[in-house]
Amino acid sequence: MCAPSATWWPTSRATSCPWIEAATSAADLPGLRGFAQHLERDLDAVIAGLTLPWNSGVVEGRVNRIKMLKRQMFGGAGFELLRKRVLLV
């Protein structure tokens, strides 16, 4: 695994990312080429996700808790009890 560095990701769309450019032209690795093409297509979102201080960890934690409650109650209770437990979370 490589250590992250300042040259890994551009700070804006105007600058290029050398490893993505190299990966999009990798003819012998179609999986890597496809992955790099998808990153390049959505580069603004990738840059924002890696550079902005916000994340969705709290929301993902809530969703995980609700899914766990749903699995615990599978077949044993009705929707109303599930609704009450979710609202208490």
DSSP 23-41: HHT-TT-HHHHHHHHHHHH
Task: Quote the number of domains for the chain.
Answer: 2
Domain assignment present for residue 12? The answer is no
The confidence score (pLDDT) of residue 22 equals: 84
28 in a domain, yes or no?
A: yes
**Calpha distance 89→86 (Å, rounded):** 5
At 60 the pLDDT is 92
Global pTM reads 0.48
- Residue 61 and residue 39 share a domain: no
pLDDT tens per residue, the chain (89 residues)?
A: 344 555 566 666 655 678 888 888 887 888 988 988 898 888 888 888 888 888 888 999 989 998 988 888 887 778 888 888 888 76
Clarify whether residues 61 and 81 are in a common domain: yes
In a domain, 46, yes or no: yes
Please indicate, yes or no, whether residues 68 and 47 belong to a single structural domain of this protein: no
Domain of residue 32 covers 18-51
Which residue type occupies 21? Answer: E
